[in-house]
Amino acid sequence: MKSAATSAPHFTGPLAIGTLSVPGGVAFPGLVLPDGRVLDLRTALDEPALTTLALLEHWDEELPRLRGLADEPAGDWLQLDDLSVHAPVVPRQIFQSGANYRQHVIDLEVAHRSPDDPRTADEARADIAAIMDKRATEDLPYVFIGLPTTITGPYDDVVLPAWAKKPDWELELTAVISRPTYRVTVEEALDHVAGYTIANDLTDRATVFRRDMPAIGTDWLRCKSAPGFTPLGPWIVPAGSVADPSELQVTLKLNGDTMQDESAKDMIFGVARLVSYISQTSQLLPGDLVLTGSPAGNGLHWGRLLRDGDVMDGSVTGLGAQRTRCVAEEAP
């Protein structure tokens, strides 16, 4: 766990929240400023047991206090370069949206076509595009559940399990929930979002589908739930600093080469529609994550999956950037 920031944290707005530590120390919730100064909120708020999750549980009350601290030059400010950066929060629940970027879905469906599919690639693309338009009209997002144990820091190494034959990247804009959320409307949904962060929702393409029982469909446990398969962060940027999440650009580079570079406008369902949809069935809790899906340009599209030594650089406009190195697990 280390800081990849050598100068400024590169986020939009006057402040962000992170989870950091001094070398060898206990992780603490930190107020991060654009110039790289960090304030330990346990001390600043006189709450020795404070965690980032606890801060989010009282977000509406705490955010004004954070703004006041950001405007106060006095205090025991630390320097980001001297700190380790961890995942900004470890949530209780993770809601992951699949098939939510129009072009990405079309690419995947064409790539996964049966060998005996009589359609040309162009015909298949047209058919799939029509299905996506129908989904948008009928308001039917596709959401599944993730595990908190997949969360790792934004600069941590990612271990590729020996059994994962086709590990792939999926960089995603992620919303962080600020209050208990149940059966809210689309119009109310964004009032329940504390802020935004970055997640890389790694997937082993070889185990997405159950070959022994095709009718069951996708196997999210197997393909997405390995430890460290969700690098998160570095920061939670308050929602008020993000004028329109659909305007953000999602970019992933592999070993310096751009693989994903797409506007969130390509999302079929925006943040508000996803949060509202999830809340009709499940109660979201403060600190929960809503991953909004990944744009076109994953490894399956390029015919190049992750391998030992690869370095992924992921960024979303105004939310900072993460860098993770892939390390192959030795076979048992």
C-beta neighbour count of 70 within 10 angstroms: 18
Pairing of β 289-291 and β 171-177: antiparallel
Average pLDDT, the chain: 93
Q: Would you state the structure tokens that stand for residue 75, as one six-digit string?
A: 């205090």
**Residue 244 banded pLDDT, cuts 50, 70, 90:** very high
CA distances from 116 to 169, 175, 176, 209 (A): 28, 40, 43, 18
Of 48-62, 71-85, 186-200, the one with minimum mean pLDDT is 71-85
Q: Would you state the structure tokens that stand for residue 275, as one six-digit string?
A: 């949060």
d(CA 4, CA 130): 43
pLDDT in tens, 132-168: 888 888 878 999 999 999 999 999 999 999 999 999 9
Question: What pLDDT was estimated at residue 330?
Answer: 86
Question: What pLDDT was estimated at residue 2?
Answer: 53
Ordered by where they begin, the domains of the chain are 16-86 (no CATH), 94-328 (3.90.850.10)
Do 200 and 322 form a contact (C-beta atoms < 8 A)?
A: yes
Q: Would you state the structure tokens that stand for residue 84, as one six-digit string?
A: 């380790």
SS3 label, residue 261? strand
Cis peptide before 234 (omega within 30 of 0): yes
Question: What pLDDT was estimated at residue 56?
Answer: 98
Among all chains, which residue has been given the structure tokens 């079929």?
268
Average pLDDT over every residue of 165-174: 97
Percent of the chain with pLDDT over 90: 77
pLDDT surpassing 80 at residue 85: yes
Do 226 and 150 form a contact (C-beta atoms < 8 A)?
A: yes
pLDDT in tens, 94-137: 999 988 998 878 877 787 778 888 898 888 888 888 888 888 88
Q: Would you state the structure tokens that stand for residue 211, as one six-digit string?
A: 């070959």
**What residues does 199 pair with on adjacent strands?**
172, 232
Q: Would you state the structure tokens that stand for residue 91, as one six-digit string?
A: 């949530």
Do 158 and 226 form a contact (C-beta atoms < 8 A)?
A: no
